[in-house]
């Protein structure tokens, strides 16, 4: 048991936390502006596919990364327009985007690469195994600063708490919410890109396998605050790292494997407990999920 907690485990935790941190910070900007973002999953998928496809085509992972950000941004734009301009239900729109983004990359890779939903393998030298990790960890203090120490952050938070008051104070509510959602797309896009051109070397169908939702869970677990969210992401990354390491290594006294399913459940159960208020109170932005509409 002891030899489990090694440098390798630490490194693995960091690697596995990285996509969560990026997506969760994205979610942070969106939700602090008052727009629920369960579309993080879809935005990550868009980023993952585009980054892999573009890196494959150009041979340059940086270009791929930027393209992944762009794809996340584009998907976020759909979410933003639907939720802000057309005041669609944010959860429904998010669900639609998630379904759309399971289909779209698979469809495109089927058309471009004639494969069933994956991109061709990218050679090792064209991968970006470290850069996104650095970006993720640097972005946490940056997000904190932006949110709490700049006029932009003040305005963003105000439209998430009380859009009417913000409007009356001359803040353009819709503009701020667009910023929040679009930023979330860019960040989730990087998170997705890291999955396909950092952690692995190709895009596979539905490769995020729920990481967008875990990021969302981390955001709630972190009470919509950047530093707490980072800690939550590290915790969830750690559980994933442990579950991978334990597979086939650690046995129960009865000689059976410890079921990975139980470890996989941890983040979800923790989130439910936190949300119910058993561990401190987790108060979301007050206007979260409410479209802002002026009488005209």
Partner 1 sequence: MLELRNITKTFATVTANDHVNIKVEAGTIHAIVGENGAGKSTAMRIAYGFYTADSGEILVDGKPVEINSPHDAIALGIGMVHQHFMLVDTMTVAENIVLGAEPGNPFQLDLTTAANEIRKLSEDFKLAVNPNSVVENLSVGQQQRVELLKALYRHARILILDEPTAVLTPLEVEEFFAILRRMREQGKTVVIITHKLAEVLAISDDVTVMRDGRVVGRVKTKETNAAELARLMVGREVLLRVEKPEPKIGPTELEVRELSVTSPTGAKRLDKVSFAVRRGEIVGIAGVEGNGQTELIEALAGLIESSQLAGEIRFEGKDIIRSGARSRRELGIAHIPEDRHRRGLLLEFDLAENSILGVHYRKPIVSLAGIFLDDEAIQERANEIIKNFDVRPANPALPARALSGGNQQKLIIGREFKVNPKLLLVSQPTRGVDIGAIEFIHRKLVELRDAGCAILLVSAELEEVTSLSDRLLIFHDGRVVGEVDPKVATIEEIGLLMTRGH
Partner 2 sequence: MKLLRELFFPLIAVVAAFFVAGLLILAVGDNPLVAFGLLFGSALSWPDGIGYTLFYATPLIFTGLAVLVAFRCGLLNIGAEGQLYIAAFACAWIGIRYAGFSAWLLVPMCFVAAIAAGGLWGAIPGVLKARFGSHEVINTIMLNFIAVAIASYFTQYHFRIPGDPIMETSEIGPGAHIARLGKFIPGLPERIPLNMAFILALVCCLLVYLFLWRTKWGYELRSTGTNPTAAEYGGISVRKQIIVAMTISGALAGMVGINEVMGYRYRYYDGFSDNYGFTGIAVALLGRNHPVGVIFAALLFAILQRGGIHVDGFSEYVTKDIVQVLQGTIILFVACEAFFSGQFNRFGLLRRSKV
CB of 10 to partner 1, least distance (A): 34
> SS3 for 54?
helix
Using CB under 8 A as the binding rule, whether residue 89 contacts partner 1 is answered as no
CA 158 vs CA 60, 108, 151, 168, 234: distances in Å: 40, 40, 10, 11, 28
In the complex with partner 1, which residue's Cβ is closer, 89 or 161? 161
Closer CB to partner 2, residue 42 or residue 198?
42
C-alpha–C-alpha distance, residues 44 and 68, integer Å = 9
Which residues ranging from 178 to 217 are in contact with partner 2 (CB under 8 A)?
Answer: 210, 213, 216-217
When asked if residue 170 is in the footprint of partner 1 (CB under 8 A), the reply is yes
Q: How many C-beta atoms surround the C-beta of residue 257 within 10 A?
A: 12
Among 169, 249, 265, 279, binds partner 1 (CB under 8 A): 169
* Piece of 6-14, 55-63, 108-116, 142-150 that binds partner 2 (CB under 8 A): 108-116
Q: What track of x and - describes contact with partner 2 for positions 210 through 249 (by CB under 8 A)?
A: x--x--xx--x-----------------------------
The distance of Cα 290 from the centroid of its chain, to the nearest Å, equals 21
Interface with partner 2 includes 77 (CB under 8 A)? no
- Residue 14's alpha-carbon distances to 22, 197, 240, in angstroms, are 12, 16, 11
- Cα torsion 268, 31, 72, 197 to 10°: value is -40
Asked if 296 touches partner 1 (CB under 8 A), the answer is: yes
CA distance 271 to 268: 5
Within 26-45, the residues that bind partner 2 by CB under 8 A are 36, 38
CB of 286 to partner 1, least distance (A): 7
- Cβ-proximal residues to 90 (8 Å cutoff; 6+ apart), any chain: 35, 36, 37, 38, 79, 83, 289, 291
Give phi and psi for 130, each to the nearest 5.
-110, -40
Say which entry of partner 1, partner 2, none residue 120 contacts (CB below 5 to 8 A, set by partner kind).
Answer: none
For position 87 contacting partner 2 by CB under 8 A, the verdict is yes
Footprint on this chain of partner 2 (rule: CB under 8 A): 36, 38, 78, 82, 85-89, 91-93, 95-104, 106-108, 110-112, 114, 116-117, 210, 213, 216-217, 220, 256, 259, 261-262, 264-265, 268-269, 271-272, 275-277, 284, 286-291, 293
């Amino acid at each position: 048991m002891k030899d489990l907690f090694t440098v390798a485990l630490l490194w693995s935790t960091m690697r596995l936390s990285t996509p969560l941190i990026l997506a969760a910070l994205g979610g942070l900007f969106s939700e602090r502006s008052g727009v629920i973002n369960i579309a993080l999953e879809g935005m990550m998928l868009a980023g993952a596919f585009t980054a892999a496809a573009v890196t494959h085509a150009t041979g340059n992972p940086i270009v791929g990364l930027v393209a992944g950000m762009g794809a996340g941004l584009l998907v976020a734009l759909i979410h933003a327009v639907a939720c802000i301009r057309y005041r669609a239900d944010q959860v429904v729109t998010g669900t639609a985007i998630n379904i759309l983004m399971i289909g779209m990359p698979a469809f495109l890779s089927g058309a471009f690469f004639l494969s069933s939903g994956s991109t061709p393998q990218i050679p090792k030298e064209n991968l970006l195994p470290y850069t996104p990790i650095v970006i993720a960890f640097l972005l946490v203090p940056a997000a904190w600063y932006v949110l709490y120490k700049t006029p932009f952050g003040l305005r963003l938070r105000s439209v998430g708490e009380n859009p009417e008051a913000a409007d009356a104070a001359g803040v353009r509510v819709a503009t701020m919410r667009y910023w929040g959602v679009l930023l979330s797309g860019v960040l989730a896009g990087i998170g997705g890109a890291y999955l396909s051109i950092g952690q692995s070397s190709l895009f596979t169908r539905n490769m995020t396998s729920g990481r967008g939702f875990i990021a969302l869970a981390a955001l709630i677990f972190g009470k919509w605050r950047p530093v707490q969210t980072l800690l939550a992401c590290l915790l969830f990354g750690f559980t994933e790292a442990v579950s991978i390491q334990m597979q086939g290594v650690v046995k129960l006294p009865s000689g059976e494997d410890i079921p990975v399913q139980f470890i996989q459940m941890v983040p979800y159960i923790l989130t439910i407990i936190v949300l119910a208020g058993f561990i401190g109170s987790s108060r979301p932005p007050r206007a979260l999920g409410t479209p802002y509409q002026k009488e005209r």
